[in-house]
């Protein structure tokens, strides 16, 4: 992968990271700012709990994505970005453009998913 491609992915990943971190700060403030009112009936509380749980699941997914982005940015600095973790072959630029945080080439990812379906993990 040439320097132009690396710059493209570095900028793309950094922009996504910045967006997620900004969003995370707002979301935490929203979660901390919500509290039950003393007048809330059980159905209102259940609805609030469901909404809070959905927000927490979304934040957890975003947290995992943030970790993946940071790992990719580190790999760019180390010169290992775009190399499959399994077969150590280059990941295609098209695949990286579709999923910049991928760590696997399409062949290895397909095998991994097939194994997960078989083993149920």
In order of their start, the domains of the chain are 1-81 (1.20.120.910), 82-121 (no CATH)
Q: Which two tokens stand for residue 9?
A: 């992915």
On the 0-12 / 13-18 / 19+ scale of CB atoms within 10 A, 93 is middle
Global pTM reads 0.76
pLDDT, tens only, 61-73: 999 999 999 999 9
Tell me the three state secondary structure of residue 55.
Answer: helix
pLDDT, tens only, 54-113: 888 998 999 999 999 999 999 999 999 999 999 999 999 999 999 999 999 999 999 999
Q: How far apart are CA 5 and CA 93, in angstroms?
A: 8
Q: How far apart are CA 35 and CA 81, in angstroms?
A: 43
Q: How far apart are CA 52 and CA 2, in angstroms?
A: 44
Q: How far apart are CA 36 and CA 50, in angstroms?
A: 13
Note the Cα 22 to chain centre separation in Å: 15
């Amino acid at each position: 992968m040439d320097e132009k491609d690396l710059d493209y992915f570095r900028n793309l990943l950094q922009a996504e990271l910045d967006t997620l971190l900004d969003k995370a700060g707002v979301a935490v403030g929203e979660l901390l700012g919500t509290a039950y009112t003393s007048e809330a009936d059980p159905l209102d509380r259940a609805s609030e709990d469901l909404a809070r749980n959905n927000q927490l699941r979304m934040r957890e997914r975003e947290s995992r994505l943030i970790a993946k982005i940071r790992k990719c940015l580190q790999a760019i600095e180390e010169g290992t970005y775009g190399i499959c973790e399994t077969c150590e072959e280059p990941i295609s630029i098209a695949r990286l453009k579709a999923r910049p945080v991928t760590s696997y080439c399409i062949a290895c990812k397909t095998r991994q998913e097939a194994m997960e379906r078989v083993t149920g993990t």
